Each structure stands twice: as structure tokens, then as C-alpha cells.
A and B are shown apart, each in its own frame.
Chain A
Amino acid sequence: MKDYILKRIVAVILPFMCMYGFYVILHGASSPGGSFAGGIIVALSFIVFSTIYGLDEGRRILPESVLVWTESFGTLWYGLLGLIGIFKGVPFLANLLAGFKPGTPGSLFSGGLIPLLTLGVGIRVASTMVTLFFTIKEE
């Protein structure tokens, strides 16, 4: 696309979109929203960028190796965090039983394991959406 206004507006909005996505992901424990919604917003920022600036530019800022890595290890990260519970002698994916600190409710890292899981699922959803977009667009 060769629209100057679109390109300038996207260049201004895009960092805030991506940052807002990570905000929604990280505050999933204390406010509405969460990993799925935030991941979609992060993915949307990259999708907007590669729609306006072209697919090659999108590929340049988000290389295929990063996408392959997050695709492959997102669920494994979730499973490894769950295995901590088994090593402590409590059920799989146990949270406070496994000795994680609950923190003060409402702060950023409250709820022990939950922010880490939220971050994993959010990055996972974002990489899936971007992969689907890139693959279908290339086709």
C-alpha cells in the first residue's frame, strides 16, 4: 500500500497497540481481559504493520525463526511450569500448593504461577495468529 497518511498513522499507533496488548496480557490476573484477548491485540499490531508496509517488512521485523520458536515452545513452557508441581510432590499445574507466593491481590505479579502462565499463553496466541496471517497472505 502506498498511502502516506496510513503509513504515518500506523507508525504512530503501532507501538502503543503492541504495548497495550502486553498490558492486557500482564494484567489478566487483576483486571478484565487476559491472555487470549491480549495475545490477539499483540498479533493485530503485527498484522496491521505487515498489511500497510507490505509482507516483506513484516517478515523483517518478525522473522520466521522467532515465530517457529514461539510456536514450538509455547505449550512446552506451560507444561514445564506445570511440572514444578510434580517435583514438589503436589498435583500437576498446582499453583499455591506448590509453594508459589500469592503476593498482594491486585498487584502485577499476584497469584503465584498465574502471570507466568498468562504470559506464555498470550505469546502463544499472538504467534499463532501471526503465523496464520503470514501463511495465508503468502498463499
Chain B
Amino acid sequence: MKIRNVLIVILALIALYGIIISVAEMPPYGSPDNPVHNQVSERYIHKALEETGVLNMVTAIVLDYRAYDTMFETIVLFTAAIAVVINLKKYHDKSSSADKEDSLIK
């Protein structure tokens, strides 16, 4: 039991060393020449108005460049609503009030 705890501590320290090394290698926060500021954001900023014709750049990205994503977001909403309706909706069955639990199955 003791040896196992010592091994766990050593493994955790090795993992912590790796994490700290990789954090120290990260680019500085908010610097303009970070690798995230590549040609993709450049293109969105400079070409959005000309390629989509809308002033709001967020709308241009959400509904034109990333229109698939928005489509499946609406499917996520649909799935949520369907799940709630299936689980919570009461099915009013006027003819047989005896077994309300089974009315969905029948």
C-alpha cells in the first residue's frame, strides 16, 4: 500500500513536470504574432463584407462560413425539445383512465 502511494506521487510529479514545461513553451497571451492569428481570421476580417454582404461579421461567420454548424445547432435544440416532450408530456386518454402509464405503449 505504501509503495503504491509513493509510485502515485512520483507519477503525478512527472506529469506535472510535463505540463509545466508545455505551459512555459506557450506563446504570450494576446500577442499579435501568435500562431492563432493566421490567414483564417485575416480572411474573415477583410473579406466578410465582400463575400457575404452583411455588416455584422459574427452573422457572416455563423450563417455563411459556418452554416453547417448552425444547422446542427438547431438540430440540437430539436433533440432537446423532443426528449423533454417524450418524457414529460401527459397523454390525456379519455377512454381508459385506469392505466395512464401504459397509454403511451398502447
**Chain A residues proximal to chain B, CB less than 8 Å:** 28-32, 34-35, 71, 74-75, 78-79, 82, 92-93, 95-96, 102-103, 105-106, 110-114, 117-118, 121, 124-125, 128, 131-132, 135-136, 138-139
Q: Is B90 an interface residue when CB atoms closer than 8 A count as contact?
A: yes
A92 proximity list for chain B (CB < 8 A): 68
Q: Main SS of the interface on chain A?
A: helix
- B73-96 interface mask toward A, CB cutoff 8 Å, 1 = contact, 0 = none? 011011011001100111000000
Mark interface residues in B57-69 (1 if CB within 8 Å of A CB, else 0).
0111011100110
Which A residues touch B84, using CB under 8 A?
Answer: 131-132, 135-136
When the two chains form the complex, which single residue of A28, A113, A125 contacts B56, counting CB atoms closer than 8 Å?
Answer: A28
Q: Indicate the size class of the contact surface on chain B.
A: 20 to 34
Closest partner residue, chain A, to B52 (CB atom): A111
| Chain A residues whose C-beta falls within 8 Å of the C-beta of B90 in the assembled complex | 138-139
Contact in complex: A74, B67 (CB < 8 Å): no
Chain B residues with CB under 8 A of A118: 59, 63
C-alpha gap A136/B52 in the complex (Å): 40
Q: Name B55's contact: one of A35, A93, A106, A124 (CB within 8 Å).
A: A106
Additional A-B contacts beyond A78-B70, A82-B67, A131-B85 (7; CB < 8 A)? A30-B54, A74-B74, A93-B71, A96-B52, A105-B55, A114-B64, A132-B81
Interchain CA distance A131-B59 in the complex, whole Å? 26
